[in-house]
């Protein structure tokens, strides 16, 4: 077992963190670099893209890989362009649910349908966290937000199921609470030939936690307890949320 300082010194730039205390983005970052290290992929052979939002800060500026911080919602087409031009590289997108399932949803669906050989990690905290906790496509039904003060009347978008239906080669859904399975899924995603997608249900203590009156750990447990870990065999493998 490698010490945490090994991953930090090898893969993470020595910068002040932009993440709020208790945010799940650091856990996702930790899982991703462990997956890369387990596979032995040289840092020079990886390119990461991200859009706009808290989760988009995971690759840039924190990680010691080449990265492209794109306009809002455009991380996937930029990743596809990099992969088409340099097919020998490992190309991945790390961004949030607002960026990938909101303004960037069309790119996500078509990249999955065309089965481009890239990996997408979507950090899903259920809100637009960077701009004040507004309603997102993934916000739980009934949750009060600044844009739904009486509670969200809409059913949240099941992004993993949508991507699986579109035809992706690999789809997984975990939470920040399930760290070891998350690392394993990221390893599988990076190894998969074709479009791979890992959704990470993550806690936002600043907006979601306060509205639900939960500590960061309490919010992690609440998210984890609403998740079924059974997968389906076949070309596309997916963990499915209860309800």
Contact predicate 184/167, CB 8 Å: no
Give the chain's end-to-end CA distance (angstroms, integer).
Answer: 37
Q: Give the CATH superfamily of 20-241.
A: Thiamin diphosphate (ThDP)-binding fold, Pyr/PP domains (3.40.50.970)
Q: Cα separation of 189 and 186, whole Å? A: 5
User: The pTM is what?
Assistant: 0.91
pLDDT digits (tens, 9 = 90+) for 30-78: 999 999 999 999 999 999 999 999 999 999 889 999 999 999 999 999 9
In degrees to the nearest 10, what's the CA dihedral of 65, 70, 75, 80?
-70
Q: What is the pLDDT of residue 132?
A: 86
């Amino acid at each position: 077992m490698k010490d945490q300082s090994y991953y930090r010194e090898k893969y993470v730039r020595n910068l002040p963190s932009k993440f709020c205390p208790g945010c799940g983005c650091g856990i996702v970052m930790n899982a991703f670099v462990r997956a890369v290290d387990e596979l032995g992929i040289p840092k020079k052979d990886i390119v990461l893209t991200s859009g706009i939002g808290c989760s988009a800060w995971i690759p840039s500026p924190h990680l010691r890989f080449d990265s492209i911080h794109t306009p809002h919602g455009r991380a996937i087409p930029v990743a596809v362009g990099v992969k088409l031009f340099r097919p020998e590289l490992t190309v991945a997108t790390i961004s949030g649910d607002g960026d990938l399932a909101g303004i960037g949803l069309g790119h996500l669906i078509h990249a999955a349908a065309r089965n481009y050989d890239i990996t997408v990690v979507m950090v899903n905290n259920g809100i637009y966290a960077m701009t004040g906790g507004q309603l997102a496509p993934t916000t739980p039904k009934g949750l009060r937000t600044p844009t739904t003060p009486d509670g969200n009347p809409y059913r949240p978008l099941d992004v993993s199921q949508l991507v699986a239906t579109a035809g992706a080669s690999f789809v997984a859904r975990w939470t920040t609470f399930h760290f070891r399975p998350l690392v394993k899924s990221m390893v599988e995603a990076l190894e998969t030939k074709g479009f791979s997608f890992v959704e990470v249900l993550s806690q936002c203590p600043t907006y979601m936690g306060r509205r639900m009156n939960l500590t960061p750990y309490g919010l992690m447990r609440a998210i984890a307890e609403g998740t079924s870990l059974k997968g389906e065999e076949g070309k596309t493998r997916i963990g499915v949320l209860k309800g």
